[in-house]
């Protein structure tokens, strides 16, 4: 959903605006998933479920950080280079 929103925006302020719009939903989803998996992480009875809870929580948190920070940054880097190369091609 964030990628679709990013592709419609052209400049940096619109890019930041897109991230801000999706931040609440992504944060709520990440927190509720973490809270739901907390009993698995805390439990000392089953090592299998504890490791599953830790793995899934780590994946959810890392994907949240990727979506919020790295995806917009890579998008900006890639498309700023793409825009400058298109300007150079059209000026020649």
**pLDDT confidence of residue 89:** 59
Percent of the chain's residues with pLDDT above 70: 75
Rounded CA separation 62/83 (Å): 30
C-alpha distances in Å from residue 26, one per residue of 18, 71, 90: 12, 14, 39
Question: Tens digit of pLDDT for each residue in 16-26?
Answer: 787 888 888 99
Question: Tens digit of pLDDT for each residue in 60-76?
Answer: 999 999 988 888 888 77
* pLDDT for residue 81 is more than 70: no
Residue bearing tokens 């009875």? 45
């Amino acid at each position: 959903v964030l990628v679709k929103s990013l592709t419609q925006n052209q400049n940096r302020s619109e890019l930041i605006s897109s991230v801000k719009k999706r931040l609440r939903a992504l944060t709520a989803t990440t927190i509720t998933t973490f809270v739901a998996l907390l009993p698995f992480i805390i439990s000392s009875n089953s090592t299998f479920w504890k490791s599953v809870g830790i793995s899934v929580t780590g994946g959810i948190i890392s994907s949240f950080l990727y979506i919020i920070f790295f995806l917009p940054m890579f998008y900006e880097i890639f498309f700023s280079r793409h825009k400058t190369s298109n300007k150079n091609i059209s000026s020649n």
